[in-house]
Amino acid sequence: MSRTTVLEASQIEPDAIAGDRRRDRRYDIQLELRWKLIRRRRLIETGSGYTMDLSSGGILFDAGRQLPAGLNVELAISWPVMLHNSAPLQLIVSGRIVRSNGTRAGVRMVQHEFRTIGSASELRLNAAAAGKSTLTFLQPRDYLGKLPVR
């Protein structure tokens, strides 16, 4: 191998590993969420924000303020598809904040589950009573067509 070839190979190598090395495919999607910051099983602080992207292993979200890395967090994410076209869903995620940059926080998921949050008519009645607008939920056929396919 000539000296020129070695130099060319060393120049290419950093580019080969500089890209995204995550195992799981990430999906750019903005969903409303509520977060709870937890330390030693005690609630420290709560807030709201939105997801920026998610995968089966983690979530990047905007918390509206800086959150410290290393603490546990629980996210309640408003899911855009209803169960049986009648019950709104939330994705509940428990995890650890692995990085924080400004108001953005990266979470490694430890546990997740879907939960129902009542019927759509209950939500509309509660929102109307509080003077808030209701969320519009997508049907599965509308939502799934917009996701990238592996």
Identify the CATH number of the domain in which residue 126 sits: 2.40.10.220
Q: What is the pLDDT of residue 109?
A: 95
- The Cβ of residue 9 has, within 10 Å, a number of other Cβ atoms equal to 10
Q: Per the structure block, which two tokens stand in for 71?
A: 């603490």
Chain-centroid distance, C-alpha 7? 41
Mean pLDDT in each 10-residue stretch from start to end of the chain (150 residues)? 47 48 81 95 94 94 95 95 90 96 96 82 60 46 42
Dist CA 58 CA 53 (whole Å): 9
Is 4 inside any structural domain? no
- The Cβ of residue 51 has, within 10 Å, a number of other Cβ atoms equal to 22
Strand 42-54 versus strand 27-28 pairing type? antiparallel
Is 16 inside any structural domain? no
Dist CA 34 CA 74 (whole Å): 8
Dist CA 97 CA 107 (whole Å): 4
Is 12 inside any structural domain? no
Q: What is the pLDDT of residue 44?
A: 94
Residues 108, 99: contact at Cβ < 8 Å? no
Is 77 inside any structural domain? yes
Q: Per the structure block, which two tokens stand in for 112?
A: 């997740």
pTM, entire model:
0.65
Is 124 inside any structural domain? yes
Three-state DSSP state, 73: strand
In 1-150, alpha helices (H) = 3-18, 120-130, 140-144
Residues β-bridged to residue 33: 49, 77
Q: For the chain, what is the domain count?
A: 1
